[in-house]
Amino acid sequence: MNKRLLSIVLILLFVYNILVLLVFQVESNFDGGNIKSIADAYWYSLVTLTTVGYGDFYPVTFWGRLYGMLFVIASFGIIGFLFSQVSFLVKDFRFKKKQGYFGTDMENHCVLIGWKSQTKEIAEGILNANEQLVIVTDKKDDVDYIKRIFPQKNCFCLYTEINNYKNLEKINIEKAKRVYLDFEDDTQALVYAVNVKKNFSNVKFVVALNNPDLKESFNYLGDNYIISKEEIVSRFAASYIFEPYAAMITEDLMTTTTEEGNLDFHQYKISPNSKYIGQDYSVAFTEFKAQYNAILVGIARDEKIYKNPKAMVLQKDDYFIFIGDIKSLEGVVNG
């Protein structure tokens, strides 16, 4: 409550109590009056102000009725004030909820900080993979657009100043799987990442750089995935020149899809009760093709990727890296 509103409330309470005391004084001294105590006066005033009007107490003197008239007139203002305040509170709650003010309890989710045209495609890929997603933006218009194109329950949007690091607590950022920084300027992204690390040391970033010279600087921040846009474009261009069909299928595999028959790269964490624990990689390779029509291409362990190893015993918390469609993924998950 601000000082101005508090001052108004205190003044109104003072005037209200003065009027109650005046009603009590003039009515209690009148022989035909029925307001005989201060409690009667307060009860009469409250019943009148709330427009209940039981009629058990009422003023009978000229001055008592005059003061009572002020209560009647004030009751219209109070009702209007209450309705307007309730309406304001409801609108304010809905607005704050829409802007993400109350935060989310998502865990192991993906976070996109910043919103540009290409961010939409990144968000679509994450949501198509049935991952939980939080988008942070500092533009109100972005919130309406994001809510419209991504109405899913597993997509949460937070409107805040980008440099308000305290508000990142609302999106549970330390429990996020990865945080993608989408900034126009690489230096700005680096400064932002450093400041986020100061407040939330466990955050793991994914950053697409325009300037590959900054890649080493980002690597000093710890466990991050830094992508050079220049390197990716160069490699794809070279691949399209001398092996266009391989380049075409590589590009297709990089796009997340939910359509049956369309291939995609998938990763799946080996659960503690998996039948593959203790088995050789070759066993899983054979079964993946036979049972799930999927091609196992490698194992991820301790943040390292082992591409199609000749001999490797599978362990709990390893990740299968395989190529398959949505049915293949469902088979692996449910198998």
List pLDDT tens digits, range 274-301: 999 999 999 999 999 999 999 999 999 9
Number of H helices, E strands in the chain: 11, 10
Cα separation, 259 vs 222, whole angstroms: 36
- H helical segments located in the chain: 3-28, 38-49, 62-98, 117-128, 140-149, 186-199, 215-219, 229-242, 244-253, 281-292, 326-334
Q: Which of 114, 254, 252 is nearest to 193 (CA)?
A: 114
Confidence (pLDDT) at 122: 87
Confidence (pLDDT) at 117: 76
pTM of whole model > 0.85?
no
Confidence (pLDDT) at 230: 75
Confidence (pLDDT) at 291: 93
Confidence (pLDDT) at 299: 96
Confidence (pLDDT) at 223: 60
Cα separation, 21 vs 42, whole angstroms: 9
Q: Which residue has the tokens 């209690």?
A: 28
Sheet holding 264-269, edge to edge: 264-269, 319-324, 295-301, 304-307
Profile the chain (335 residues) by mean pLDDT over runs of 10 residues: 73 80 84 84 81 78 82 72 80 87 92 88 85 93 91 91 92 93 88 91 87 79 75 78 84 73 87 92 94 94 91 94 89 84
Confidence (pLDDT) at 35: 83
Q: Which of 160, 145, 164 is nearest to 102 (CA)?
A: 160
Confidence (pLDDT) at 316: 92
Residue type, 246: A
Q: Which residue has the tokens 């794809």?
A: 236
